[in-house]
Amino acid sequence: MRVSNLLTVKGRDVATISRERSVTDALATLKERGIGALIVTGASAPLVGILSERDVVRALAERGADALSMSVAELMSTDVTVCSEETTVTELMGLMTAQRIRHVPVVGDGHLVGMVSIGDVVKARLDELEHEKKDLLDYVSSW
């Protein structure tokens, strides 16, 4: 299974935020959309960073409530790991595990085309295992 299959099921909508917005604005968007990360956009390139709940929690631990008035640019991660639609789910699981990340933007032809979370990967793998189980049970019961 490839990332393109995941995007077909979950959709290609990606929540974004401008680097100039406040962390409070970002948290409101995360809550409203029920997600754990936002792609940070800039004037050039499809993405300039990513801001996750983890980034905000770390900032709150270090700076206290002052972190909430900071700009997204001040807290975002700029070393963003991306994948393509051709990346396999197995490759993506390995990448997410090795780098200890939960959200991976999907980029194609220099454009942002989706976002995959660890929850999407786990759901896809569980669906795949359930399908394999059904096939095996059908095979065994046909004897």
Over residues 67-98, the pLDDT tens digits come to: 999 999 999 999 999 999 999 999 999 999 99
Strand partners, 49: 40
- CA 7 to centroid of chain Cα atoms: 11
Amino acid at 91: E
pLDDT of residue 81: 94
Q: Angle at Cα 57 formed by Cα 12 and Cα 29, nearest 5°?
A: 40
Residue 40 has pLDDT above 90, yes or no: yes
Domain ranges of the chain: 3-141
CATH of 3-141, one of 3.20.20.80, 3.10.580.10, 3.40.50.720, 3.40.630.30: 3.10.580.10
Mean pLDDT of 9-20: 92
Q: List phi, psi (to 5°) of 46.
A: -70, -25
Give the three-class secondary structure for 137. Answer: helix
**What does pTM read for this prediction?**
0.85
